[in-house]
């Protein structure tokens, strides 16, 4: 299939985002997309709401790109990879006209937003046929938390292919967190993380269609591509003056890859998780982000100068029993699991490398008077005691004639079935039990959650999340309140291949 936009129409589509940059300087050293396809150097060109309204057209289409210097095709919004950066404020009215120029049905999901799950709002049960358009229309509540959110397709049956093929973008909600003086003084930079297939592996087939590890195994593990991109670029350069403060809004836009980040000789000061601010910054030497997960961190430029690598450290998403014979044991960085391979086993040709990979660099340029970190951020209120506790068992099985299926409480997804019915306004605890051999990032739509404990150990700090990693063998207790919006939505594993293979359930919120 050829892409339907010539250069002129592409540029006019891209012209929606020419507003001035409020971000840090980001220089692409090795652009992933070809010269005639401008990069969305994220942070550079947000489309902002004006007068309380955000209105735009999003065209989902196949677009010719260069990946690691080879020609390929990616699935994009408005010809951009990632899609246009959107910026909202609480209370805004949002109107997005989605035009489907793909060969498959699609739709849009506003991952992490607290908005209604039905009608033309965050309705994942809508399906927009090839050639058709649909207008999404909703309003953010006036008290919506500030944070970094993520839009992507969510049409069951095509979501993994389309996200792996490139679709996705970042949505920022500005609010009280942005007005904390130390945070406001920081330079801001979005980092949209996505792994893409190698150009050579694409042939003429387009990116969505199962390459790399081969269809069966790739989907079962969750497909990862070997080309690690940050805002669509390979190893871009970030610049910061000595003494300066950098605020990174990091989004894991991958189909399946867990990103485990570390910045040489610098720590991360975590200020926000998926769904909003922490009470105070938490210092981290490394940051694990599972698919769909976001984090905001501050980086203090406290060296005298130099160039530092932002690394993606090894992480293995499967316990040893799973990978044995396939060259995929656990690698360093995992706590010992008994059933895992510990740290000594060489990984061989598996999809998860043993060595850190450089994904960007931070270069000091100039100097400013040292900026302080904030001491306090925003209160994270505890939820009330739960009215009930439910259990969700995550695992997989071989199904005759279907191959591997992924299950929640023994059942694969069926959109006709209601799996979980809750009452509007109730607080519940959900115990997520993973007795399989692969990690599963569990995601719930519409209402954020707080992690209470992992394997009985209380979480060290309170945070609002919407994706929670549940490692092989682990039990995680989360707490959530079904606020404001009755309706029907879903929860699922955010390894989108697992979601497609059945690891999703329906949630009915009754008024």
Write phi, then psi, for 432 (nearest 5 degrees).
-100, 115
Between the CA atoms of 108, 419, 222 and 324, what dihedral angle is there, to the nearest 10 degrees? 170
- State CA 93 to chain mean position distance: 24
Task: List phi, psi (to 5°) of 328.
Answer: -135, 70
Residue 443 CB, shortest distance to ligand C2O, in Å, is 5
Dist CA 293 CA 259 (whole Å): 10
Q: Between 52 and 157, whose beta carbon lies closer to ligand C2O?
A: 157
Min dist CB 77 to ligand C2O, Å, is 15
- For the bound state, the minimum distance from the C-beta of residue 160 to ligand C2O, rounded and expressed in Å, comes to 11
Question: Residue 290 CB, nearest distance to ligand C2O (Å)?
Answer: 11
User: Is 152 a binder of ligand C2O (CB under 6 A)?
Assistant: yes
Residue 326 Rama label (left phi>0; alpha psi -120 to 50; beta): alpha
Task: Scan residues 394-423 and list those touching ligand C2O (CB under 6 A).
Answer: none
From 5-13, 342-350, 355-363, 495-503, span contacting Cu ion (CB under 5 A): 495-503
Q: Do 410 and 370 contact (CB within 8 A), yes or no?
A: no
Smallest distance, ligand C2O to C-beta of residue 446, A: 10
What is the smallest separation between the CB atom of 48 and Cu ion, expressed in angstroms? 23
Tell whether residue 156 is a contact of ligand C2O (CB under 6 A).
no
What HEC string does 32-72 produce?
CCCCCCCCCCCCCCCEECECCEEEEEEEEEEEEEEECCEEE
Nearer to Cu ion, 23 or 168 (CB): 168
277 binds, among ligand C2O, Cu ion, none (CB under 5 to 8 A by kind): none
Of Cu ion, ligand C2O, none, which one sits near residue 396, judging by CB under 5 to 8 A according to partner kind?
none
Look at residue 257 and give the partner it binds from Cu ion, ligand C2O, none, a contact being a CB closer than 5 to 8 Å depending on partner kind.
Answer: none
134 touches, from ligand C2O, Cu ion, none (C-beta below 5 to 8 Å by class): none
- For ligand C2O, what does the binding mask look like between residues 444 and 463, x meaning CB under 6 A? -x------------------
User: Which two tokens mark 505?
Assistant: 């359930």
Helix (H, G, I), strand (E, B) or coil at 164: helix
The residue with tokens 């150009």 is 199
Please name the residues in contact with 124: beta carbons below 8 A apart, sequence gap of 6 or more. 107, 109, 117, 154, 155, 156, 445, 489, 490
* Residue 495, binding choice from Cu ion, ligand C2O, none, Cβ under 5 to 8 Å by partner class: Cu ion
Q: How far is the C-alpha of 456 from the C-alpha of 435, rounded, in Å?
A: 16
C-alpha span between 174 and 134 (Å, rounded)? 26
| Binder of Cu ion out of 440, 465, 479, 481 (CB under 5 A) | 440
Q: Which one of 249, 396, 492, 498 is in contact with ligand C2O (CB under 6 A)?
A: 492
Interface size with Cu ion, residues (CB under 5 A):
6
Residue 106 DSSP symbol: B
Q: Which residues contact 35 (CB under 8 A, 6 or more apart)?
A: none
- One residue of 144, 294, 443, 498 binding ligand C2O per CB under 6 A: 443
For residue 492, the partner it binds in Cu ion, ligand C2O, none, with Cβ less than 5 to 8 A by kind, is ligand C2O
Q: What is the Cα Rg of the chain in Å?
A: 21
Q: What would the DSSP string read from start to end of 318-368?
A: B-HHHHTTTT----TTSPP-SSS-TTTS--TTSSS-SS-EEEEEEEEEEE-
Which helix (H) or strand (E) segment is 8 a member of? helix 7-14
Judged by CB under 6 A, does residue 114 bind ligand C2O? no
Indicate which single residue of 42, 146, 495, 501 sits in contact with Cu ion (rule: CB under 5 A): 495
Identify which of residues 313 and 449 has a Cβ nearer to ligand C2O in the complex. Answer: 449
Nearer to ligand C2O, 494 or 498 (CB): 494
Kindly list the distances between the CA atom of residue 202 and the CA atoms of 104, 189, 495, in Å, as whole numbers in the listed order.
18, 31, 21
Residues 284-303 that bind ligand C2O (CB under 6 A): 292
Please name the residue that has the structure tokens 């969510």.
154
8 A C-beta contact, residue 186 and residue 139: no
Assess 109 for contact with ligand C2O (CB under 6 A): yes
Binding partner of 219, given Cu ion, ligand C2O, none, CB within 5-8 angstroms per partner class:
none
Q: Whole-number minimum distance, CB 111 to Cu ion, in Å?
A: 4
Q: How far apart are CA 154 and CA 509, in angstroms?
A: 20
Q: Which of the stretches 33-41, 45-53, 262-270, 487-495 binds Cu ion when contact is defined by CB under 5 A?
A: 487-495
For tokens 């060290």, what's the residue?
460
When asked if residue 334 is in the footprint of ligand C2O (CB under 6 A), the reply is no
Cβ closer to ligand C2O: 371 or 408?
A: 408
Among 101, 134, 154, 465, binds ligand C2O (CB under 6 A): 154
Select from ligand C2O, Cu ion, none the partner in contact with residue 152, using the beta carbon and a kind-dependent cut-off of 5 to 8 Å. Answer: ligand C2O
CA 417 from centre of chain? 27
Q: What is the per-residue binding string for Cu ion in 107-126, x denoting contact by CB under 5 A?
A: ----x---------------
Instruction: Report how far residue 438's alpha carbon sits from residue 318's, in angstroms, rounded to the nearest whole number.
Output: 4
Part in contact with ligand C2O (CB under 6 A); list of ranges 30-38, 59-67, 306-314, 490-498 = 490-498
Cβ of residue 400: shortest distance to ligand C2O, in angstroms?
A: 28
- Smaller CB separation from ligand C2O, 37 or 492: 492
Q: Taking a C-beta distance cutoff of 8 angstroms, is the pair 392, 263 a contact? A: no
Compute the least distance from the CB of residue 499 to ligand C2O, in Å.
7
Residues near ligand C2O (CB under 6 A) are: 109, 111, 152, 154, 292, 443, 445, 490, 492, 494
């Amino acid at each position: 299939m050829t892409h339907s936009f010539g250069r002129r129409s592409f540029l006019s589509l891209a012209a929606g985002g020419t507003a001035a940059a409020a971000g840090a300087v980001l220089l692409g050293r090795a652009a992933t997309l070809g010269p005639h396809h401008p990069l969305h150097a994220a942070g550079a060109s947000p489309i902002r709401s004006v007068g309380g309204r955000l209105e735009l057209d999003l065209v989902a289409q196949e677009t010719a790109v260069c990946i690691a210097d080879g020609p390929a095709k990616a699935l994009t919004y408005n010809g951009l990879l990632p899609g246009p950066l959107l910026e909202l404020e609480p209370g805004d009215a949002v109107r997005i006209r989605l035009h489907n120029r793909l060969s498959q049905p699609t739709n849009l999901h506003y991952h992490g937003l607290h908005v209604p799950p039905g009608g033309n709002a965050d309705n994942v049960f809508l399906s927009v046929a090839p050639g058709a358009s649909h207008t999404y229309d909703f309003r953010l509540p006036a008290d919506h938390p500030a944070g970094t959110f993520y839009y992507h397709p969510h049409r069951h049956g095509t979501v993994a292919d389309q996200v792996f093929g490139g679709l996705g973008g970042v949505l920022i909600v500005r609010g009280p967190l942005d007005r904390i003086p130390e945070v406001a003084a920081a330079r801001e930079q979005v980092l949209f993380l996505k792994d893409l297939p190698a150009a050579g592996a694409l042939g003429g087939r387009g990116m969505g269609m199962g390459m790399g590890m081969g269809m069966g195994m790739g989907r079962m593990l969750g497909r990862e591509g070997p080309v690690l991109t940050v805002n669509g670029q390979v190893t871009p350069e970030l610049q910061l003056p000595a003494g300066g403060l950098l605020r990174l809004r990091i989004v894991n836009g991958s189909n399946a890859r867990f990103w485990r980040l570390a910045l040489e000789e610098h720590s991360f000061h975590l200020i926000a998780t998926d769904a909003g601010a922490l009470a105070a910054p938490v210092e981290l030497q490394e940051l694990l982000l599972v698919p769909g997960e976001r984090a905001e961190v501050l980086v203090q430029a406290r060296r005298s100068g130099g160039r530092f690598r932002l690394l993606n450290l090894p992480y293995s998403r499967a316990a040893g029993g799973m990978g044995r014979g396939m060259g995929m044991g656990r690698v360093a960085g995992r706590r010992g699991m008994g059933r895992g391979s510990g740290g000594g086993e060489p990984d061989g040709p598996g999809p998860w490398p043993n060595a850190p990979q450089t994904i960007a660099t931070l270069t000091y340029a100039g100097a400013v008077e040292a900026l302080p970190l904030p001491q306090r951020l925003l209160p994270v209120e505890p939820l009330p005691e739960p009215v009930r506790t439910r259990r969700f068992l995550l695992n997989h099985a071989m199904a005759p004639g279907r191959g591997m299926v992924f299950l929640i409480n023994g059942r694969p997804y069926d959109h006709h079935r209601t799996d979980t019915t809750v009452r509007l306004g109730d607080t519940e605890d959900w115990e997520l039990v993973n007795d399989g051999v692969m990690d599963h990032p569990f995601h719930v739509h519409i209402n954020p959650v707080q992690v209470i404990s992992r394997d009985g150990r209380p979480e060290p700090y309170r945070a609002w999340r919407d994706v929670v990693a549940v490692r092989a063998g682990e039990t995680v207790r989360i707490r959530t309140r079904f606020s404001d919006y009755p309706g029907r939505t879903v929860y699922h594993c955010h390894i989108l291949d697992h979601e497609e293979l059945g690891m999703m359930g329906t949630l009915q919120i009754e008024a």
